[in-house]
Amino acid sequence: MKTYLLTCIISAFIFQSSATWSQQVESSPLTLDRIYDNGEFSQQSMKPIKWIDGGNSYVIIEKGMRGNELVRYNSASQERDIYISGTQLKDTLSGEVISVEDFSLSLDETKVLIFTNTSRVWRSNTKGDYWVFDLTTDRLSQLGKGFNPSSLMFAKFSKDNSSVAFVHDFNLYLEDFLQERLLH
């Protein structure tokens, strides 16, 4: 008897929900403007998460008082602390705070490669500007300074963390950001 009653309640709920949903669909027809202009059908993206300290903590991008900042959370306790603040991500030449769109960490977790000012190539934002933030010296360095803005692609740290390789105009570059030398 209990099973029958539960089945009836669930069936009534499903019937009511589908009736309400069909009324909403009928009241607003599917148009190209509705699909592309108002964001109703846009995909939700997840912020990048980087695990550190052997999985004991993770770092994510959060909106702070002075732009995006990198925030570290302890995996077990969820204690929050600032990994890199927005004020640390200030371009010394222009004075502008860099907006972090993605980032990666060096193997020894002493440097952060920041991807910003991105532009879309085909389906993904793969072109942009790259910056390296050294956690040991609190120093921020831009990669490929002589190139046009938003024109670098696929930057990666070397295994010894002394340089970063990236692509620009179908050419591979290796930049020693410690010495600020560009090798082609």
pLDDT tens, position by position, 46-61: 677 888 888 888 988 8
Asked, for residue 63, whether it belongs to a domain, the answer is yes
| Residue 60 belongs to some domain of the structure | yes
Q: Is residue 53 part of a domain?
A: yes
The CA distance from 50 to 181, in Å, is 28
Q: What pLDDT score does 90 carry?
A: 77
Residue 103's beta-bridge partner residues?
114
Q: Which amino acid would we find at residue 155?
A: A
Per-residue confidence (pLDDT) for residue 27, from 0 to 100: 59
Q: Are residues 58 and 51 in contact, defined by beta-carbon separation less than 8 angstroms?
A: yes
| Confidence tier at 5 by pLDDT (50, 70, 90) | low
Tokens 């002394």 locate to 162
Has residue 38 been placed in a domain? Answer: no
Question: pLDDT at residue 23 above 60?
Answer: no
Digit-coded pLDDT (tens) for 140-161: 888 878 887 777 778 888 888 8
- Mind listing the pLDDT tens digit for each residue in 92-107? 777 677 788 888 888 8
pLDDT at position 177 is 66
**Residue 8 predicted with pLDDT over 80:** no
Domain coverage including residue 137: 49-147
Could you tell me if residue 14 is inside a domain?
no
Let me know if residue 95 belongs to a domain: yes
Question: Is 77 domain-assigned?
Answer: yes
Residues 6 or more apart in contact with residue 73 via CB below 8 angstroms:
57, 58, 59, 60, 79, 80
pLDDT tens for each residue of 65-99: 667 788 889 988 989 888 888 778 877 777 677 78
Count structural domains, the chain: 1
126 occurs within a structural domain: yes
Q: In the prediction, which pLDDT does 73 show?
A: 92
